[in-house]
Amino acid sequence: MPDLNPLSWWARLLALPNESRTKTIAMAFIVSGICALLVSSAAVLLAPMRDANLAAEREARLAAMLESMPGLADIVAQYGADSLETVVVDLETGEPTDIDPATFDIAAAAEVPETSSIIPGEADIAGLGRRADLAPIHILREDGELRLVILPISAVGYQSTIRAHLALEGDLNTVAGLSIIEQGETPGLGARIEEPAWQALWPGKELAGDDGEIRLSVVRGRATSAYEVDGITGATRTGNAITSAIHFWLGEYGFDDVLANLRQGAGLQ
Amino acid sequence: MKRLQHLYTPLIDNNPVTLQILGICSALAVTTSMTTALVMSLALIVVLVASSMIISAIRHHIPTSIRLILQITIIASLVIVADQVIQAFAFDISQRLSIFVGLIVTNCLVLGRAEAFAMRNPVGLSALDALGNGLGYGLVLLLIGFVRELFGAGTLFGQTVFPTIHDGGWFTPLNLMLLAPSAFFLLGLLIWAIRSVRPAQIEPADYEISIEPNRRAP
């Protein structure tokens, strides 16, 4: 009669010589099974806290940017927080959609083929590979007049993907502010794009020249015109990434249709 | 107290970083500030102690042919868990440590202790040895982090010590201190200092270079 008691199987397995094939395979499966269980339970149990941390971080940075912009806090206070509306727009058509912004995650959408498109090689100056078809933007109006538009931009930097919010004033050509949301650049060099002192250089810069071509860029050394922002010494590639993020996201594959619609005052009411 | 030797000899006499030159890659990467150095040291100590204890507990049943893979699997799992815990409870610091907690897997120190000590010694001794080596690693990280943060940014644990000229103070930060090469220099100076005090740590040269006075060029 075969022995069906699992405990005695276990004892027999442990008693096998270490070099036997059965024990080698059994040990491999047992150790990897236990490790898989450990890793996946940690991931599942801690996921809500991690997501909450990420969401809180995003909101805190948006709030910090709104505060840093002159006069903006007053407007928000005057009209209530509702005056800042968030719309998910379709980047192809430039039209708003009725998707709830609270449930839309642009970074996650960019990774799924159904909700994103491949950026053609020569147009992919930001090195992103693919971008989401939809994007959430924030719009602030005062008496029906466009006061502020906040666009999410991103690019691959020196060693991380940099995500930022670019805020434009009502004329859609003057920068109201830039706020870095997420980056993992070299501490002390590229990571200094997070410093308030550097981000304070942005308000008032001009986006495009008279011909409509985007000219704003981060330069090496000191800025000499309204289309230039001081670079950070030792962080040329991080600065270049910010430049290409602006050029990409305001260009053909980014928000150009959205901005055109906003200029005409059509659609995005 | 012979057992306690395993705890304190790795601090200076047999320090994993300065004597065995293990784990210096992460020592370069995370020492730009004291906070990251401290969190990295804590994560490494936890992973090192836990993996040494687990490997030591099952050491009689690890087949020789797959022992390295088993060790790496156990270490990697613990590292992922540690990384997740840091992301959940210390989000700011996890952002600054970026991938380096994950790279504990490739830290030769962890696998080195597992292979050299935990495979041959009981659980208690392995835990002491792991703790001692972890503390030795942490000590070096904090020392280098102290110098780099103080002179590179004028702060310690993010608190201003020297007001920098960016904030209207007098101190010009040494940008070199924030770059990886400065960690090499500091580590080299540290090893030099330790070996000057303890000449026993100086290794004999592998090959003596000798010049024969009578030899002529061919």
In this predicted model, what pLDDT tens digit does every residue of A131-158 receive, in sequence order?
Answer: 888 888 888 877 777 888 888 899 999 8
Q: Searching chain B, which residue's CA lies closest to the CA of residue A50?
A: B88
Q: What is the pLDDT of residue A52?
A: 86
Residue type for A172, please? Answer: L
Strands A228-229 and A217-218: parallel
What backbone torsions phi and psi does residue A163 show, to the nearest 5 degrees?
-115, 140
- Which residues lie below 8 Å from residue B198, measured CB to CB, with a gap of 6+? B12, B13
Q: What is the pLDDT of residue A269?
A: 45
The nearest CA of chain A is from the CA of B70 a distance in Å of: 7
- Which residues lie below 8 Å from residue A71, measured CB to CB, with a gap of 6+? none
Instruction: Tell me A224's DSSP state.
Output: -
- CB contact under 8 Å between A46 and B74, yes or no, is no
Closest Cβ opposite residue A42 in set B69, B84, B153: B84
Alpha-carbon gap, residue A101 to A87, rounded angstroms: 6
Q: Which of A14, A53, A163, A238 has the highest number of chain B CBs within 10 A, making it the mutation to test binding with B?
A: A53
Please, what is the angle between helix A21-68 and helix A6-15, to 10°?
Answer: 100
Q: Which of B35, B77, B164, B167 has the highest number of chain A CBs within 10 A, making it the mutation to test binding with A?
A: B77
| CA nearest neighbour of A258 among A127, A162, A152 | A152
The region, left, alpha or beta by phi > 0 then psi within -120 to 50, assigned to residue A141 is beta
Helix (H, G, I), strand (E, B) or coil at A256: helix
Give me A201's structure tokens.
């250089």
Helix (H, G, I), strand (E, B) or coil at A58: helix
Closest Cβ opposite residue A46 in set B58, B62, B84: B84
Q: Searching chain B, which residue's CA lies closest to the CA of residue A24?
A: B63
Closest Cβ opposite residue A187 in set B78, B85, B96: B96
- CB contact under 8 Å between B91 and A46, yes or no, is no
Alpha-carbon gap, residue A228 to A223, rounded angstroms: 5
- CB contact under 8 Å between A28 and B69, yes or no, is yes
Alpha-carbon gap, residue B26 to B79, rounded angstroms: 14
Interface of B with A in 137-176 (CB under 8 A): 152-153, 166, 175
- Which residues lie below 8 Å from residue A252, measured CB to CB, with a gap of 6+? A123
Q: pLDDT digit string (tens) for A65-102?
A: 676 665 566 666 666 555 677 888 888 888 888 887 77
The dihedral built from the CA positions of residue A155, A157, A160 and A166, taken in this order, carries a sign that is negative
The nearest CA of chain B is from the CA of A146 a distance in Å of: 35
Q: Is B59 on the interface with A (CB under 8 A)?
A: no
The pLDDT profile of chain A, 269 residues, written as one tens digit per residue, is 566 777 888 888 888 888 888 888 988 999 999 999 999 999 999 988 888 887 787 777 777 767 666 556 666 666 655 567 788 888 888 888 888 777 777 877 888 888 888 888 888 888 888 888 888 888 887 777 788 888 889 999 988 889 888 888 888 888 888 888 888 888 778 888 888 888 888 888 888 888 878 889 999 888 888 899 999 888 889 999 999 999 999 988 888 888 888 888 644 54
Q: Is B61 on the interface with A (CB under 8 A)?
A: yes
Strands A217-218 and A116-118: unpaired
Q: Searching chain B, which residue's CA lies closest to the CA of residue A188?
A: B178
Q: What is the pLDDT of residue A266?
A: 46
- CB contact under 8 Å between B77 and A189, yes or no, is no
Q: What is the pLDDT of residue B33?
A: 85
Name the average pLDDT for chain A.
83
Give me B191's structure tokens.
């090893």
Assess: ipTM above 0.85.
Answer: no
Q: What is the pLDDT of residue B115?
A: 87
Q: Is B29 on the interface with A (CB under 8 A)?
A: no
Residue pointed to by tokens 């790496």: B72
DSSP string, A81-109: GGGEEEEEEETTT--B----GGG--HHHH
Q: Which of B87, B155, B172 has the highest number of chain A CBs within 10 A, making it the mutation to test binding with A?
A: B87
Cβ neighbours of B76 in A, within 8 Å: 35
Q: Quick one: chain A helix, strand, coil %, rounded to 5?
A: 40, 20, 35
Q: Do B15 and B140 contact (CB within 8 A), yes or no? A: yes
Weakly modelled stretches of chain B, pLDDT under 50: none
Cβ neighbours of B37 in A, within 8 Å: none
Q: pTM of this prediction?
A: 0.65
